[in-house]
Structure 1
Amino acid sequence: MSDTMSTAAVSLRNVHLTLPSRAGNVDILRGVDLEVRPGEALGVVGPSGSGKTTLLMVIAGLEKASSGEVVVAGKSLNGLGEDALAAFRRDHVGIVFQSFHLIPTMTALENVAVPLEFRGATGAMETAAGRLERVGLGHRLDHYPGQLSGGEQQRVAIARALASGAKIIIADEPTGNLDHVTGEQIVKLLFDVKEQGGASLILVTHDRALARRCDRIAEVLDGKIVSGATT
């Protein structure tokens, strides 16, 4: 492994992802090269269907590359089984989805505590309460997702992503289901927690003005990064 790859937060080399379909194999990612530095904010842009979300899923170990090398947080994801990938995500990656993905039968506090409990961490509830306080929801610990606004649900999702102290935050259109004002609040929160924790932030967005707030922009087109793969 090169020095650059060993020190990068994320390093992809010639990554391909091909998925089967009724019409035959479909090439989703086609030779992607990408580096993200520790503490860097990367905006990922491109048209619908270009492969942006799939790229995030590969980085998070939710999709396995068909070929190429994927190194995240200093760990090669190539060849890891599902249990090892789940442990990798638990320890290194926080994921914020557009649709929140909260468990509706759990309170805000319980939703945030889940990844900590999976780790066997002591004081999971106390840590979760602190994370919710950090995102301005210390007064909503016992509320269920259905009792929270969209912006509050996204704050819970961010608190959950940060619960284990992840140094890589992946956000896929995190403001897509929010109004403009609430979306701005969520974006500010994401950048604030990134700065405070020194994490790398990889942000997929259709909003180029938002992408320009990142340190760098990578543009994805037809399964390839056509600009901004490296600094």
Structure 2
Amino acid sequence: MADPIVALSDVRLTLPSRAGPVEILRGIDLVISPGEAIGLVGPSGSGKTTLLMVLAGLEPPSAGTVKVASRDLTGLGEDALAAFRRDNVGIVFQAFHLIPTMTALENVAVPLEFKGERNAFTLAAEQLKRVRLGHRLDHYPGQLSGGEQQRVAIARALATGAQLLLADEPTGNLDQETGAQIVDLLFSVQKEEKATLVLVTHDPALAERCSRVIHMADGRIIGERQPGRTPAETEVLA
């Protein structure tokens, strides 16, 4: 059996505030197998996005163990974490986060150049063609629609061959029709790449497309289920 791509043990995150320490994550235990599509759901403020940032090595936990792609992220410095993300993790945000002064091609080529790929622009063009943007290579983000910008973001996330794809409300800034197209594309490339997808969403229909749905509340995982099972088969952990 393949080693898990994600293994979290008693992960906690406490941040300071004027009112005193705030517990954001409260003892997260989570194992994700390679190739799974995980829907992460729960009310606003439940810790979903923070958990995604911990998985990406963008937010160090206050306690616990975070292993991603067989790498223990605990205690790694910023340079090591940046190299880890470059090689292992692709992130798609709700707000796209493209560099406005770079073309679509240049945006996708950036992580490839950081990785030292000599053919960065050729590989970037291939990724953009894959998401049906071969005709937009030289366009800047401001010249692209929201859906097109999100396609560029997906191409960038997958450009370096990352096997863990993290998506935080990827359709949040899109209309319903465009959002549906982006979701279809996201699941399509995830299956093609045999990548693992962790998807934060408030959309129940979108979560139902995942192989496993994990429910969070108040910084904890309170339950999980596999879509298609009856409510009686849902495992409640609280």
Q: Say whether the fold is shared (TM-score over 0.5).
A: yes
**TM-score for both structures, normalised by structure 1:** 0.96
Quick one: which of 47, 50, 53 aligns to 1:51? 47
Q: Distance in 2 between matches of 1:177 and 1:25?
A: 32
Asked if 1:179 is matched to 2:175, the reply is yes
Q: Secondary structure at the match of 2:216?
A: strand
Counterpart amino acid of 1:159? Answer: A
Rounded Cα–Cα distance in structure 1 between residues aligned with 2:150 and 2:31: 27
Rounded to whole Å, the distance in 2 between the matches of 1:10 and 1:210 is 22
SS in 2 for 1:184: helix
Q: How does 1:88-107 map to 2 (within 5 A)?
A: 88-107=84-103
Q: How many residues align?
A: 227
SS state at 1:228 partner = strand
- Letter paired with 2:14: T
Verify: 1:228 aligned to 2:224, yes or no: yes
Structure 2 alignment gaps of length 5 or more: 227-234
- For the pair 1:70 / 2:66, whether they are aligned, the reply is yes
Deviation track 1:27-79 (CA, whole Å, cap 9, x = no partner) reads 00000011111000000000001100000000000000110010001100001
Q: Which moved more, 1:6-15 or 1:163-172?
A: 6-15
How many Å separate the matches in 1 of 2:28 and 2:91?
A: 21
* Matching of residue 129 in structure 1 with residue 97 in structure 2: no
- How far apart in 2 are the matches of 1:39 and 1:214? 11
For 1:199, give the aligned amino acid.
A
3-state SS in 2 of match to 1:35: strand
| 2:212 and 2:225 in contact (8 A); partners too | no
Gaps of 5+ in 1: none
Q: Which of 146, 152, 156 is the equivalent residue of 1:156?
A: 152
SS at 2:189 equivalent: helix
Aligned identity (percent) is: 68
Rounded Cα–Cα distance in structure 2 between residues aligned with 1:25 and 1:92 = 32
Deviation at 1:229, TM superposition (A): 8.6
SS at match of 2:134: coil
